[in-house]
Structure 1
Amino acid sequence: MDAHISFLTDYGTADGFVAVCRGVIARIAPGARVLDITHEVPAGDIRRGAALLAQTLPYLPPGVTVAVVDPGVGTPRRGVLVRTAEHLLVGPDNGLLMWAADAVGGALSAHELTASDLMLPRVSATFHGRDVFAPVAAHLATGTSAHRVGPRLDPGGLVRLPDPVAYVVDDTAHGEVLTVDRFGNVQTSLGPAELAAIGAAPGGSVTVRTVDGEWTVAFGRTFADVPLGEPVAVLDSADRLAVAVNGGSAAALTRLAPEGQVSVSRADGTA
């Protein structure tokens, strides 16, 4: 049995792009088990793809991950392999991979993808997922050494996205929206450290401010801590503060979208 291959893209499923990549993998590594993370990253949204990959990778089996959100396909941007203790990450050098590498202990080494014999014979200028990343990932899954894919790179020289905004001034935590899921839950960049710094905890309440408004909501443990249709703040499964609506959409309520700025302060008034 070949290694697991985990797969994330912005290709969607209306076209045949995902199936083609999976077909390339199956031809090279027929024993590999392909696990689809998602193919619904908003088109070209590297930051959203990076956040989803980073929050998912720690729970995936060791193996190869191929991630493609690549608006710079066909330009001089490099294709890279990033090696961590348990994972080999394959994709474009545009920041997509590095938060995920950090989430599983950091990059141990990196290589540029230059070995043409590990790619398809004809590499198009617009579909490196099919012609470069999928075949390289498949060869790695069959046991091909990381050193075979191309010359070694300094991981510190790979493209990194700016870290998510998260800081505290006086009694207010300032952050940004990382993701909005299909339920309309708005996940922020704020975590336990920022919440502890402002004294916010489940059982109290917080005031959430954006450019479009201000909401004072219960800080609960789960969505059902408030009546149906009411907003609530929770620490989500990724340990990030999220704003939700029990049975509804916080995104529709707040009009927040990824990278939108948000500030949070304690509102229950207790010491």
Structure 2
Amino acid sequence: MKLVIVTGLSGAGKTTALKALEDSGYFTMDNVLCQIAVFLLQNLEKGKSELNIEKLALGIDNRAISSSKEFMLLLNCIESLNVDYQMIFLDSSDEVILNRYNLTRRRHPFTAPTLLESIKREREAMNMVLERSTVVIDTSEYSNKMLSKKIKELAVSEKKEEINIHVQSFGFKYGVPIDLDLMFDVRVLPNPYYIEELKLKTGNDQEVYDYVMSFKESEELYNRLLDLIKYMIPLYKKDGKQHLSIGIGCSGGQHRSVAFANRISKELSYMKDISVYISHREGERHHWT
């Protein structure tokens, strides 16, 4: 059985994520208490249930976790059953969650004197879950469509020995993604932005790519980064990690980081037992000039 647990902060997109998994063939259940989840998993895996479920997605938030002990029992149950699982933690900035609740006028499940205080208390309570999650997604700048697409990409791999690798370009001036495992800075390379005929193009254009890679230091930096990533992938897999997020950043996330991210993802796609997908954050956010 393949299992996905969707968790995270209230208002960060759990409902959207579960709907995306349902569209991908998962049987989904939301607001599942940890104790019920343990009972369900034990019976499904031991064949005591008449239900024939190959793909299961459970939505679990702070309301379903009464204590850290209860949460650890769920994790221990999953690991003892040796099921193929991912735990996806959906995060977002306090300001974005605050705006989402103000728009929907829903009541926050964490009771506190103010809405902002509720968000901060929930963040503290969910920190133990965040630390044990296999995937962290910052949905601050995501539309429902973008989040749905990313969740479906994460659900593609069916083999436990596979590792999903997300290569993402970004611009430092727009902030660093919070869900990165590895982050590399390519701002040290010559910037195509200052070349008039390349300024409005991106690293997806051949002219920009050729310019970025034409320098000796670019080729050496690329080879060093690739060697390090290839060295670390088996170590991550040995540690049981099923998702690896790699960020390549430059000033605006339009030229150098895009070229490097494209080249690295292409090279990694040739490796065995690896599922690679790429995204360009600033392009998705319409920051490219």
Q: TM-score, normalised by structure 1?
A: 0.27
Identify the structure with bigger relative contact order (alpha carbons < 8 Å, sequence gap 6+): 2
Determine which structure has the larger strand proportion and give its number: 1
